[in-house]
C-alpha cells in the first residue's frame, strides 16, 4: 500500500517530478526574490539615515529573510537530494520548515505593522480613520496568531501537514492567510482615501501624493494576490504541493515591498519636483504669469523630514495632516 494514498489519488501513479516540480520552481523564484530583497536592503542602508528604530526594524526584517531563505534551502536539500526519487520524506514536515513558517508569520506581521504605522501618521479627524487603522492592526494580529498556530501544529503533528492534512492546521492556515489578506486590502484602501483627502491642488505636493498612492496600491495588490493565491492552492489543490511554492515566496513579497516603500522616497521627490517645474514653466509660457517662490506657493504646506531624511511630505489642511 502506498504511504501517500492522497497524493497517489490526485495524480494517479505519481512520479518525483510531478510531486516536487512545482516546489522546485517556486524555490528558484524565491532565490531570485531573496536577491532582490538583498539589493533593496543594501540600497536602503547605504542611502538613508532614518531614525534608529526604523533602521533596527529594517535590519531585523532583512535578517529574518536571510534565515527564512536558509531554512527553505535546507528543506529543499533534504527532500530532493538525500532521498531523491523517494516519497518517504513526505511522511513529515521538516523542523526547518516549521521554524520558517513562524518566521514567515513574523515578517508578514512586521510589514503590515509598518504599513499601519504609515496609516497612523496620516492624522485625519473623525472616527472612520481610527476604525480603519484599528481594523488593520486587529486583522494583522489575527493573521499572526494563525501563523503561530500553524507552526505549533507543524511541530506537534509533522506527519499531518503534506499528506492526510490535519483539520486544525488547515483552519489555522486559512485564518493566517485570510486575515492577512483582509488587513492588506483595508490598509491599502484607507491609505488611498486619506491621501486623496490631503490633496489640495499644489502641483508639487499633488504629484508626490499621487506617486505615493501608486506605490501603496501596487504594494497592496502584490501582497494581496500572493495571499489569495496561497489560499486558493492550499484548499483547492490540497492533494498537491502547489501551495508550498506560493508559501515560500509570499514572505519575500512582504520584505521586498517593505524596502521598496523605504527606497522610493528619493525617486518620488525627484520626479515630482520635475513635474512641478515643468508645470510652472508651461504655465508661465502660456499666460505670462510669474509665480511666487516655491516656499510661498506651498503656503500652508510644509515639507518636513523628521526621521525620513529630505523625503517626508507633511501636508496640512483644515481636516487632514499627512506626514509620509
Q: What is the pLDDT of residues 80-123, one digit of tens each?
A: 888 776 777 777 888 999 999 999 999 999 999 998 888 887 76
| Separation in Å, CA 42 to CA 21, 59, 261 | 32, 10, 14
Rounded CA separation 37/264 (Å): 14
Residue located via cell numbers 500652508: 300
Amino acid 205: pLDDT: 59
Q: Which CATH class is domain 5-268?
A: mainly alpha
Query: Which residues does residue 302 pair with via DSSP β-bridges, in sequence order?
Result: 314
All residues at 6 or more sequence positions from 314 whose CB lies less than 8 Å from its CB, including other chains: 301, 302, 303, 304, 321, 322, 323
Q: Which of 241, 184, 188, 233 is nearest to 215 (CA)?
A: 188
Pull the grid cell for residue 136: 488593520
Amino acid 302: pLDDT: 36
Q: Which of 26, 156, 175, 146 is nearest to 93 (CA)?
A: 156
Give the distance between the most distant pair of CA atoms in the chain.
Answer: 87
Pull the grid cell for residue 86: 523517494
Annotate 232-256 with DSSP letters as a single string: HHHHHTTTSSHHHHHHHHHHHHHHH
Q: What is the pLDDT of residues 128-179, one digit of tens each?
A: 878 888 999 999 999 999 999 999 999 998 888 887 788 999 999 999 999 9
Contact 71, 96 (CB under 8 A): yes
Contact 198, 319 (CB under 8 A): no
Amino acid 119: pLDDT: 81
User: Which of the 8 DSSP states describes residue 51?
Assistant: -
Q: What is the mean pLDDT of each run of 10 residues along the chain (324 residues)?
A: 47 67 89 92 90 92 94 89 74 89 94 87 73 91 94 90 86 92 90 69 62 77 88 84 89 91 72 42 38 38 37 42 44
User: Which of the 8 DSSP states describes residue 310?
Assistant: T
Amino acid 21: pLDDT: 82
User: Which of the 8 DSSP states describes residue 316?
Assistant: E
Contact 147, 176 (CB under 8 A): yes
Map out the domains of the chain as residue ranges.
5-268
Rounded CA separation 115/136 (Å): 9
Model pTM score: 0.75
Amino acid at each position: 500500500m502506498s504511504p501517500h494514498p492522497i497524493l497517489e489519488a490526485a495524480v494517479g501513479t505519481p512520479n518525483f517530478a510531478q510531486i516536487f516540480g512545482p516546489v522546485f520552481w517556486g524555490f528558484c523564484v524565491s532565490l531570485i526574490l531573496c536577491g532582490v530583497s538583498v539589493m533593496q536592503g543594501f540600497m536602503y542602508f547605504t542611502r538613508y539615515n532614518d531614525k534608529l528604530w526604523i533602521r533596527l526594524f529594517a535590519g531585523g526584517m532583512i535578517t529574518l529573510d536571510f534565515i527564512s531563505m536558509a531554512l527553505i534551502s535546507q528543506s529543499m536539500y533534504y527532500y530532493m537530494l538525500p532521498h531523491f526519487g523517494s516519497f518517504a520524506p513526505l511522511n513529515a514536515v521538516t523542523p526547518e520548515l516549521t521554524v520558517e513558517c513562524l518566521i514567515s508569520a513574523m515578517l508578514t506581521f512586521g510589514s503590515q505593522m509598518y504599513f499601519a504605522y504609515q496609516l497612523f501618521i496620516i492624522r485625519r479627524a473623525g472616527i472612520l480613520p481610527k476604525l480603519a487603522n484599528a481594523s488593520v492592526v486587529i486583522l494583522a494580529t489575527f493573521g499572526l496568531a494563525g501563523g503561530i498556530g500553524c507552526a505549533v501544529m507543524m511541530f506537534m503533528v509533522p506527519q499531518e501537514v503534506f499528506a492526510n492534512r490535519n483539520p486544525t492546521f488547515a483552519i489555522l492556515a486559512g485564518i493566517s492567510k485570510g486575515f492577512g489578506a483582509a488587513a492588506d486590502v483595508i490598509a491599502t484602501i484607507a491609505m488611498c482615501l486619506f491621501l486623496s483627502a490631503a490633496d489640495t491642488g499644489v502641483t508639487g505636493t499633488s504629484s508626490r501624493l499621487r506617486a505615493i498612492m501608486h506605490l501603496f496600491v501596487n504594494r497592496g495588490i502584490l501582497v494581496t494576490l500572493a495571499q489569495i493565491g496561497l489560499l486558493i492552492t492550499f484548499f483547492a489543490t490540497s492533494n498537491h504541493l502547489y501551495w508550498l511554492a506560493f508559501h515560500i515566496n509570499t514572505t519575500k513579497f512582504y520584505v521586498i515591498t517593505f524596502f521598496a516603500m523605504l527606497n522610493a522616497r528619493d525617486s518620488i521627490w525627484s520626479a515630482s519636483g520635475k513635474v512641478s517645474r515643468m508645470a510652472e514653466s508651461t504655465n508661465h509660457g502660456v499666460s505670462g504669469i510669474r509665480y511666487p517662490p516655491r516656499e510661498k506657493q506651498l503656503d500652508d504646506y510644509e515639507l518636513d523630514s523628521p526621521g525620513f531624511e529630505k523625503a517626508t511630505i507633511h501636508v496640512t489642511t483644515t481636516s487632514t495632516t499627512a506626514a509620509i
